[in-house]
Chains A and B, each alone.
Chain A
């Protein structure tokens, strides 16, 4: 485990040897009179999974939606691959907490929806959708409707839809919070495989410390409202080990404990 908060305080820490996919500079967000985020400076390394972690109401989802271009920041700037964000763009794809699947569309159409909006032909987009449906483990469910799937499977559809548009940056807003515990564990393991395979930048919002430590290359801990960066941690866990070994790993457990100690005083 590496705590790089000190560097983070001086300049948004750039980890050696990796490119920066997303730069966040001086982001502030006011909701009327309420200050949600204050002076966020952050770099998200390319090809890594970075988690935004914090107590509820710390503005982590707000920050993710600002990066996605879904809501405007009050001040500050977000750059993705060096280009300033003014709205949603093809280099980013969002995975929604409530899945946001169209109930009237099959799994196939839902997964291909991002491509459909771009005006891609039916055969072409179905071929791509088919590939990602298989990749998230939903082969055979192409013609099912969302209400016929479990929560975990629905979120796999959401993930496949985000993969299908081939964005560089995937933004996941508490993707597992509506998925039951057992499915969540399996899904986390599968997600790590996909991170390895897809070589994309993942930005992941969660309120689960275990999930953050288990999945992330980097954890950004935000403090309570107004949200500011409290700590940046790199768990440095050996991911070649089996999932069960990781969950019993001393480094993993220590990191979870340390984050909990840091967050404890925010919890009433």
Chain B
């Protein structure tokens, strides 16, 4: 009598435990799932909006996806980004070095703060996009102009974040370093920079995002090259799916770069955040 019950029980138990394992796995990745769901929902709305259609120049999600895959495979993205990334990488590197350096100096010295901070506060408030055409009068339409466009957009936010981060470094930790006879260099490198690094990196991320805007603006406003050229060209010949695919690719590249920067920060500067 007991045998069939047991057999029955065990045969039932196997799928339940498998299911619970599945659900456990699922709940482990719950945040990732919600993010995917959010993106999926967005694509769905896009697809519907494209099919209504809200404008003849608005492609559906699937059309854009097809164009995206084609452009990735035929190498037009690779060629475009090879050109676009040049001013971006140069500009962001220069902005990061100058920006973090200036930010730290301004955070440590009141004199430097008074001298430099107002300039960047004004620059941050200024409509930079309107100033980009002016660069071409001075530096022409080459790489220098585009790099400058990136720097103009990226530098102020990096400088101001770096300066605020350093100025607000935990005074107790600074006193601790001083009380254990740390010299000025140790105080800066071992306490102030690690303590300020989350805000400095927030500035870098904002700067990078602004840099992407800068380089695209430069390619649209100065001379169409790289990804800006792809957008301009496909718009002019009414290949709207390709045009949107190019725009999406910028968002994708920019998001991936920002995520990489965040991962780098966690790995190198703030190991305790990775663990928690």
Any chain A CB within 8 A of the CB of B25?
no
Which of A89, A92, A114 counts the most chain B CB atoms within 10 A?
A114
- Chain B residues near A118: list those with CB within 8 A: 181
Q: What separation, in Å, do the CA atoms of A67 and B177 have in the docked complex?
A: 16
Measured between C-beta atoms, what is the minimum distance from B272 to chain A in Å?
4
Which of A68, A90, A118, A145 counts the most chain B CB atoms within 10 A?
A145
Are B172 and A113 closer than 8 Å at their CB atoms?
no
Any chain A CB within 8 A of the CB of B194?
yes
Candidates A68, A88, A93, A104; contact of B270 at CB < 8 Å = A104
| Interface residues of B, count at CB 8 A | 22
- Chain A residues near B176: list those with CB within 8 A: 94, 96, 100
Are B194 and A104 closer than 8 Å at their CB atoms?
yes
Contact digits for B256-276, partner A, Cβ 8 Å, 1 yes 0 no: 000000000000011110011
Which of A89, A113, A146 counts the most chain B CB atoms within 10 A?
A113
Any chain A CB within 8 A of the CB of B173?
yes
Are B272 and A117 closer than 8 Å at their CB atoms?
no
Measured between C-beta atoms, what is the minimum distance from B184 to chain A in Å?
12
Q: Contacts A104-B269, A104-B271, A117-B186; is A90 near B181 (CB within 8 Å)?
A: yes
Q: Which of B171-197 contact A (CB under 8 A)?
A: 172-173, 175-182, 186, 190-191, 194-195
Q: What separation, in Å, do the CA atoms of A114 and B191 have in the docked complex?
A: 13
Q: Contacts A102-B191, A104-B269, A104-B271; is A165 near B172 (CB within 8 Å)?
A: no
In the complex, the chain A residue whose C-beta lies closest to that of B183 is A117
Any chain B CB within 8 A of the CB of A131?
no
Q: Contacts A88-B181, A90-B181; is A100 near B275 (CB within 8 Å)?
A: no
Are B180 and A70 closer than 8 Å at their CB atoms?
no
Q: Which of A66-86 contact B (CB under 8 A)?
A: 68-70
- Chain B residues near A145: list those with CB within 8 A: 271-272, 275-276
- Chain A residues near B177: list those with CB within 8 A: 117
Q: Contacts A117-B190, A145-B275, A147-B272; is A100 near B181 (CB within 8 Å)?
A: no
- Chain A residues near B175: list those with CB within 8 A: 70, 96, 100
Q: Contacts A102-B194, A117-B190; is A70 near B272 (CB within 8 Å)?
A: no
Q: What separation, in Å, do the CA atoms of A257 and B86 have in the docked complex?
A: 77
Are B272 and A100 closer than 8 Å at their CB atoms?
no
Any chain B CB within 8 A of the CB of A211?
no
Measured between C-beta atoms, what is the minimum distance from B268 to chain A in Å?
10
Are A70 and B270 closer than 8 Å at their CB atoms?
no
Q: What separation, in Å, do the CA atoms of A165 and B173 have in the docked complex?
A: 17
Q: What separation, in Å, do the CA atoms of A98 and B172 have in the docked complex?
A: 8
Candidates A104, A105, A113; contact of B180 at CB < 8 Å = A113
Q: What separation, in Å, do the CA atoms of A27 and B269 have in the docked complex?
A: 42
Q: What separation, in Å, do the CA atoms of A89 and B178 have in the docked complex?
A: 10
- Chain A residues near B269: list those with CB within 8 A: 104
Contact digits for B41-65, partner A, Cβ 8 Å, 1 yes 0 no: 0000000000000000000000000
Q: Contacts A102-B173, A145-B272, A147-B272; is A165 near B194 (CB within 8 Å)?
A: no
Candidates B172, B194, B272; contact of A96 at CB < 8 Å = B172
Any chain B CB within 8 A of the CB of A103?
yes
Are B172 and A100 closer than 8 Å at their CB atoms?
yes
Measured between C-beta atoms, what is the minimum distance from A125 to chain B in Å?
12
Which of A102, A118, A148, A165 counts the most chain B CB atoms within 10 A?
A102
Measured between C-beta atoms, what is the minimum distance from B262 to chain A in Å?
16
Q: What separation, in Å, do the CA atoms of A145 and B170 have in the docked complex?
A: 17
Q: What separation, in Å, do the CA atoms of A100 and B180 have in the docked complex?
A: 12
Q: What separation, in Å, do the CA atoms of A180 and B170 have in the docked complex?
A: 23
Are B276 and A165 closer than 8 Å at their CB atoms?
no
- Chain B residues near A104: list those with CB within 8 A: 194-195, 269-272
Q: What separation, in Å, do the CA atoms of A184 and B190 have in the docked complex?
A: 31
- Chain B residues near A88: list those with CB within 8 A: 178-181
In the complex, the chain A residue whose C-beta lies closest to that of B275 is A145
Q: What separation, in Å, do the CA atoms of A93 and B172 have in the docked complex?
A: 15
Measured between C-beta atoms, what is the minimum distance from B198 to chain A in Å?
10
In the complex, the chain A residue whose C-beta lies closest to that of B178 is A88
- Chain B residues near A92: list those with CB within 8 A: 179
Are B180 and A93 closer than 8 Å at their CB atoms?
yes
Q: Which of A156-199 contact B (CB under 8 A)?
A: 161, 165
| Between-chain CB contacts (< 8 Å), 10 pairs | A69-B179, A88-B180, A90-B181, A94-B176, A96-B175, A100-B176, A117-B181, A117-B186, A147-B272, A161-B180
Besides A88-B181, A104-B194, A145-B272, 8 more A-B contacts (Cβ < 8 Å) are: A94-B176, A94-B180, A100-B175, A117-B190, A145-B276, A146-B272, A147-B272, A165-B180
- The interface of chain B, by Cβ under 8 A from chain A, is 170, 172-173, 175-182, 186, 190-191, 194-195, 269-272, 275-276
Interchain residue pairs A-B with the least CB separation, the first 10: A145-B272, A100-B176, A114-B180, A94-B179, A117-B182, A100-B172, A88-B179, A104-B270, A117-B180, A104-B194
- The interface of chain A, by Cβ under 8 A from chain B, is 68-70, 88-90, 92-94, 96, 98, 100, 102-105, 113-114, 116-118, 145-148, 161, 165
